[in-house]
Amino acid sequence: MKKPELLAPAGGMSQLVAAVRFGADAVYVGGQRFGLRAYAGNFDDAALRRAVDYVHAHDRRLHVTLNAFLYNDDLDGLAQAARALEDMGADAAIVADPAAVEICCEVAPRLPLHLSTQANTLNWRAAAFWHRNGVKRVILARELNLEDVRGICARVPEDLEIEAFVHGAVCASYSGRCVLSNYLTGRDANQGQCAQACRWKYALVEEKRPGEYLPVFEDARGTYIYSAADLCMIEHLKALWQAGVVSFKIEGRMKTDYYVATVVGAYRRAIDNLLENPDAPFDPALLREVQCASHRASGTGFYFTRRPADPPGSVAYERGADYVAKVLEVYPDGRALVEQKNKFVRGETLQWLSPAGSRDFLCEDLRGEDGEALDSAPHPKQRVTLPLPAGAQAGDFLRRLRAGKI
């Protein structure tokens, strides 16, 4: 079996740097057009070139999304985008529309193509069809169970790679192909403009009782009958690896650098543990680690059932820790300059998060940039200094565990 790739999301350069630092083998990003996260930071051509240079300097790979569904007016622009990606040395373009596959093969033949989950590939013959037409990797539909995945991997050509989602938000629609947002708001999810209408609160109206709204009870916070639970497969990577999946994909191009670092770091250690000793039991501390990032209620999606294992859930977010600061610089004397994200105070116990894991420490000798002693850091983006444990580096994070959550 091949060593599995850990594929991380990045909506901007700070998230990309965090993904690489915390252990991603490859990162996927969007350009200014033709991706499905129009409201992420995204990358213009100059930023994409910098991103390619950065990941290659760290011996990693960059995949770029071109997976919007295309109208006639989009075709020339898609060709220009494909040529630009090939020219700058991107490691793959993620595509969904058959026109995008054909255009990329014609105008950028050296650009590897990965078929998006938006193409909802459900069987081995479909995967083999795309391979014959120029696709190097298929990202499977998220409606497949583990037996389906195993059957596809067993029957596709040996040089066709299979990628699957392991973590993040899941749409209630089929492989993300949703028209609800477009219908309600005019924002087309298949053009990257999803308004996440599935996360809104809904009630029922009976036709003979106009104006009388009937709630559908789920919990005290509200009713979210279209909102799917998040996906979390960190406990089950061995099953996916043994099934033949070569790339484990994390969703989240709208997420912060702290979220990317937390989740990628946990999955990195889970994969490394699996490779070191496939028969060792899963370390439950890694599940607790991913829960330190803000998330909705999560489950295993379709992997162990023909229908979702978890019912639609609340849009309420929960987290096991509060992100309080990012490390900007570490001085030779062990003090660090950090930028505040949420208030923290002198004398409290915090956690330092690095690519190696997390460690508790006491927040002591808190000072402003001018050296003035401080009792707290209450202001957004306030820069302060404090001593950190040995080994801290720029790009690490500080957080506060939430009592009863971890």
Q: What CATH number corresponds to the domain at position 130?
A: 3.20.20.70
| Whether 285 and 148 share a structural domain | yes
| Whether 102 and 247 share a structural domain | yes
Q: Which residues pair with 28 in a beta bridge?
A: 9, 63
Residue 214 lies in a domain: no
Residue 351: which domain range? 321-401
| Whether 83 and 156 share a structural domain | yes
* pLDDT tens, position by position, 300-343: 988 998 765 455 555 667 889 999 999 999 999 999 999 999 99
Strands 376-377 and 344-345 turn out to be antiparallel
Query: For the domain that residue 360 is a member of, what is the CATH number?
Result: 2.40.30.10
Question: Which residue, among 365, 38, 16, 348, has the nearest Cα to 190 in the 3D structure?
Answer: 38
Question: Which residue, among 15, 65, 12, has the nearest Cα to 40 in the 3D structure?
Answer: 12
Relative orientation angle of helices 98-107 and 75-88, to the nearest 10 degrees:
50
| Whether 235 and 277 share a structural domain | yes
| Whether 139 and 29 share a structural domain | yes
User: What's the confidence (pLDDT) of residue 203?
Assistant: 73
Residue 331 lies in a domain: yes
The chain-wide mean pLDDT, for the chain, equals 90
Q: Tell me the torsion sign for CA atoms 63, 90, 293, 176.
A: negative
What is the domain count for the chain? 2
What Cα–Cα distance (Å) separates residue 333 from each residue in 377, 386, 387, 392? 21, 11, 8, 12
pTM score of the predicted model: 0.88
Residue 305 lies in a domain: no
| Whether 110 and 164 share a structural domain | yes
User: What's the confidence (pLDDT) of residue 37?
Assistant: 62
Give the DSSP H/E element, type plus range, for residue 102.
helix 98-107
Residue 184's pLDDT band, with cuts at 50, 70 and 90, is confident
| Whether 342 and 240 share a structural domain | no
* pLDDT tens, position by position, 332-373: 999 999 999 999 999 999 999 999 999 999 999 999 999 999
Residue 193 lies in a domain: no
| Whether 127 and 168 share a structural domain | yes
| Whether 108 and 232 share a structural domain | yes
Residue 282 lies in a domain: yes
| Whether 295 and 395 share a structural domain | no
| Whether 18 and 86 share a structural domain | yes
Residue 32 has pLDDT above 90, yes or no: no
Question: Which residue, among 240, 327, 271, has the nearest Cα to 25 in the 3D structure?
Answer: 271
Cα pseudo-dihedral 80, 86, 91, 93, rounded to 10: 20
| Whether 145 and 246 share a structural domain | yes
User: What's the confidence (pLDDT) of residue 202?
Assistant: 73
Strands 137-139 and 113-115 turn out to be parallel
HSE toward the beta carbon, residue 353, CA cutoff 13 A: 29
At residue 26, what is the residue type?
Answer: A
Cα gap 120→174, rounded to integer Å: 8
Cα gap 406→285, rounded to integer Å: 9
Residue 178 lies in a domain: no
Secondary structure of residue 279 in the 3-state scheme: coil
Residue 200 lies in a domain: no
